[in-house]
Amino acid sequence: MFDQILALVKEHFGANPAVADAIPAGQQDAVHNEIATHITNSLTTQPAAAPGGGFGGILSKLEDSFASGGPVVSAIEGSLFSSLTSKFGLPPSVTGAISGALPGLLQKFASNANAPK
């Protein structure tokens, strides 16, 4: 799951000029890895919402979070931005750009994970 999330992070944020231009040169890979790590950790530590739990439960909880205003998204953002600020010294303008793009990334991940293979 981490590799899939990392690939989506790189694709999504790389295609978003507000984010891509805000991350200092030379820190892109480290920042992308940090974002993917936080998303993966947050998703795997959320109690599964679907009967039987598992990955389907995680995706269900993530989709419900978008519909209800985002407790899962908020949890990811809170720990992620604290980490990005402390580890990389990113200013609020950069973490704000990442924050604005994060819900779209998570929706893309949920859609891709639910798509028939």
Residue 14 is part of which domain span?
A: 2-114
pLDDT one-digit tens code per residue, 33-52: 999 998 888 777 765 444 44
Name the domain count of the chain: 1
Q: Is the pTM of this model over 0.85?
A: no
Phi-psi region of 40 (alpha: psi -120 to 50; beta: other; left: phi over 0): alpha
Q: What percent of the chain has pLDDT over 90?
A: 18
pLDDT one-digit tens code per residue, 17-37: 888 888 888 999 999 999 999
Phi-psi region of 52 (alpha: psi -120 to 50; beta: other; left: phi over 0): left
What residues contact residue 24 under an 8 Å CB cut-off, 6+ apart? 88, 90
Please tell me what DSSP assigns to residue 44: H
pLDDT one-digit tens code per residue, 102-111: 878 877 877 7
Residues in the chain: 117
* Helices 92-114 + 54-68 axis angle, to 10: 130
